[in-house]
């Protein structure tokens, strides 16, 4: 009886806390210096079971860096690169924040962290002239993934020049464990020159006002996260992307080509949605995307407002090493002739202009070469080696070399059904090409003269005879 009462009281207490939407937490204890990382890296998960005092030191510098190959830009940065350093704290931590503005800076700067509860997100408290440093503290009350940015006037210009980053406030108890975490941040740039125009580019206020950027990029530049710098994982691993969007203007339709997000903490909040293809990331907002890698390959991160991806730079690569799972994804299994009208042989109409007749074998081969390129190479390939399982090779083809009449017949009438060529079975359709006797003679003479075939010369008279004999 006494025990029952105790349980009841405990339950009531718990629900009272829940109603106030506050989770009981251990008291603040100790002090530590935050680990800060550049994209695509993320500081390690927080394992503390209590809040602490966390010191964050962020230095603003104005630096010339690469925007694209041959294109430079003067970026204003939180920590030397774009996006700014990733900051990771725990809910209820007391963050002791110092903003330093390097003496070589031309502008004053400050910081508005969306994780801050308090005026300006810290903007006024951190207004810092070149060669100064400022300090303030805040309590990380709400868990979530938050954008931070400079909010010094003209605000748009400071953001447009690269002043943004992410701060993660881990909930009490932490985030579920995953194998790999990455920092991916989208933003756009408005340059005086057009996309790709070489040299040091200035900021275009006019384009920024019209919201027509020249560059839309992940992690600060075109190609920042592809090729050798692709983010990497292994089949079977779980991945978490901390995605931010600095704008200054555009909303991102964030998508990973060839993957489905198992979970998305939309807008960087506490609740997650499942099985999402594309998630909206607002300017000044975020999303946490999680997925398991069921097979290998390259997965392309894009803003699915697709011209931004393929024409303005919003493209990054997640490279997943194998072995792949063929049951999940087979790759292309075949590429065969598609005949909507069924199995009947098709006729490809030809232009009927008469070519001058070839006077000898050399002329026949020369004429046949052009006919081959125009009529045969698409299927049998320019070097005559065919396509496995779809188009048989003409190079070293025993089928071809064994029987000239049969080869002539094939080119006149097409070919259908199972054939065995150099040990491989093909069961497909070659269409009727509508070539005249001269053209058939020339193309076959060319084919026989190439790729270690037996050198037979085929004449128009032979072709005429076969044609007259019917199939």
Dump the DSSP string for 12-51: HHHHHHHHTT----PPP--EEEPP-B-TT--PPPP--SS-
Contact between residue 112 and residue 151 where contact means Cβ atoms under 8 Å apart? yes
Least spacing, CB of residue 161 vs Cu ion, in Å:
7
x-or-dash pattern for Cu ion, window 95-114, by CB under 5 A?
A: --------------x-----
Q: Which is nearer to ligand HEC, 196 or 434 (CB)?
A: 434
| Options 150, 222, 376, 466; binder of ligand HEC; rule CB under 6 A | 376
Residue 152 near Cu ion by CB under 5 A: yes
Assess 368 for contact with ligand HEC (CB under 6 A). Answer: no
Does residue 393 bind ligand HEC (CB under 6 A)? yes
Which of the listed partners (ligand HEC, Cu ion, none) does 399 bind, with a CB threshold of 5 to 8 Å by partner kind? ligand HEC
Tokens of 336: 């065969």
Among 419, 459, 464, 467, binds ligand HEC (CB under 6 A): 419
Contacts 24+ apart (CB under 8 A), 386-392: 387/335, 388/424, 389/334, 389/336, 389/424, 389/426, 390/334, 390/335, 390/336, 390/337, 390/426, 390/428, 391/426, 391/428, 392/419, 392/421, 392/422, 392/424, 392/426
5, exposed or middle or buried, with CB in 10 Å at 0-12, 13-18, 19+?
exposed
Tell me: does residue 150 bind Cu ion (CB under 5 A): yes
User: For residues 258 and 296, is the Cβ–Cβ distance under 8 A?
Assistant: no
In angstroms, the Cα distances linking 238 to 241, 261, 270, 314 are 10, 11, 19, 23
Could you tell me how many residues of this chain bind ligand HEC (CB under 6 A)? 30
- Candidate ranges 153-161, 201-209, 252-260, 392-400; the one touching ligand HEC (CB under 6 A): 392-400
**Residue 337 interacting with ligand HEC (CB under 6 A):** yes
Write out the binding residues for ligand HEC, residues 420-449 only, by CB under 6 A. 421, 426-431, 433, 443, 447
Residue 191 interacts with Cu ion (CB under 5 A)? Answer: no
- Neighbour tally for 94: CB within 10 Å: 16
Length reported for the chain = 471
CA distance linking residue 364 with residue 204, whole number of Å = 63
Q: Taking the complex as a whole, how short is the minimal distance between the CB of residue 383 and ligand HEC, in angstroms?
A: 13
**325 lies in the site for ligand HEC, by CB under 6 A:** no
The one among 112, 399, 412, 441 contacting ligand HEC by CB under 6 A: 399
CB nearer to ligand HEC: give 251 or 421: 421
> Which partner from the list Cu ion, ligand HEC, none does 449 bind, CB cut-off 5 to 8 Å by kind?
none
Task: Report, in angstroms and rounded to the nearest whole number, the Rg of the chain calculated over CA atoms.
Answer: 33
Write down the least CB distance from residue 308 to Cu ion, Å. Answer: 25
> Quick check: 370 and 438 in contact, CB under 8 A?
no
Tell me if 264 sits within 8 A of 241, measured CB to CB.
Answer: no
CB of 294: closest distance to Cu ion in angstroms?
43
C-alpha 38/C-alpha 83 separation (Å) is 8
Q: Which residues bind ligand HEC (CB under 6 A)?
A: 337, 375-376, 378-380, 391-394, 397, 399-400, 407, 410-411, 415-417, 419, 421, 426-431, 433, 443, 447
Q: Which residues bind Cu ion (CB under 5 A)?
A: 109, 150, 152, 158, 163
């Amino acid at each position: 009886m006494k025990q029952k009462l105790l349980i009841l009281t405990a339950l009531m207490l718990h629900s009272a806390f829940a109603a106030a939407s506050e989770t009981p937490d251990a008291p603040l204890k100790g002090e530590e210096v935050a680990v800060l990382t550049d994209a695509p890296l993320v500081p390690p998960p927080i394992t503390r079971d209590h809040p602490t005092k966390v010191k964050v030191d962020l230095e603003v510098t104005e630096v010339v860096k690469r925007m694209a190959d041959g294109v430079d830009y003067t970026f204003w940065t939180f920590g030397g690169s774009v996006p700014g350093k990733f900051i990771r704290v725990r809910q209820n931590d007391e963050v002791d924040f110092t903003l330093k503005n390097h003496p070589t800076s031309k502008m004053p700067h400050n910081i508005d962290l969306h994780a801050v509860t308090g005026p300006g997100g810290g903007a006024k408290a951190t207004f810092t002239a070149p060669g100064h440093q400022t300090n303030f503290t805040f309590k990380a009350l709400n868990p979530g993934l938050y954008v931070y940015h400079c909010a010094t006037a003209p605000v748009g210009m400071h953001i447009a020049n690269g002043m943004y980053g992410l701060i993660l406030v881990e909930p009490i108890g932490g985030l579920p464990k995953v194998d790999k975490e990455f920092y991916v941040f989208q933003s756009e740039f408005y340059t005086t020159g057009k996309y790709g125009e070489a040299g040091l580019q200035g900021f275009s206020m006019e384009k920024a006002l019209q919201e027509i950027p020249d560059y839309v990029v992940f992690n600060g530049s075109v190609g920042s996260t592809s090729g050798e710098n692709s983010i990497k994982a292994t089949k079977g691993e779980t991945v978490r992307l901390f995605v931010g969007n600095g704008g200054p203007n555009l909303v991102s339709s964030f998508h990973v080509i060839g993957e489905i997000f198992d979970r998305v903490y939309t807008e960087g909040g506490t609740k997650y949605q499942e099985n999402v293809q594309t998630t909206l990331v607002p300017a000044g907002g975020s999303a946490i995307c999680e997925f398991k890698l069921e097979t290998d390959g390259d997965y392309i991160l894009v803003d699915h407002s697709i011209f931004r991806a393929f024409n303005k730079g919003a493209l990054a690569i997640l490279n997943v090493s194998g072995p792949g799972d063929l049951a999940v994804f087979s790759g292309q299994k075949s590429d065969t002739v598609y005949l909507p009208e069924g199995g009947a042989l098709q006729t490809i109409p030809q232009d009927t202009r008469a070519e001058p007749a070839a006077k000898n074998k050399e002329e026949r081969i020369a004429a046949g070469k052009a006919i081959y390129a125009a009529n045969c190479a698409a299927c049998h390939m320019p070097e005559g080696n065919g396509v496995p399982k779809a188009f048989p090779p003409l190079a070293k083809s025993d089928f071809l070399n064994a029987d000239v009449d049969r080869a002539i017949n094939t080119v006149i009438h097409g070919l259908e059904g199972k054939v065995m060529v150099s040990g491989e079975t093909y069961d497909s359709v070659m269409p009727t090409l509508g070539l005249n006797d001269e053209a058939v003679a020339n193309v076959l003479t060319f084919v026989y003269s190439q790729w270690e075939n037996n050198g037979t010369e085929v004449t128009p008279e032979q072709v005429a005879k076969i044609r007259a004999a019917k199939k």
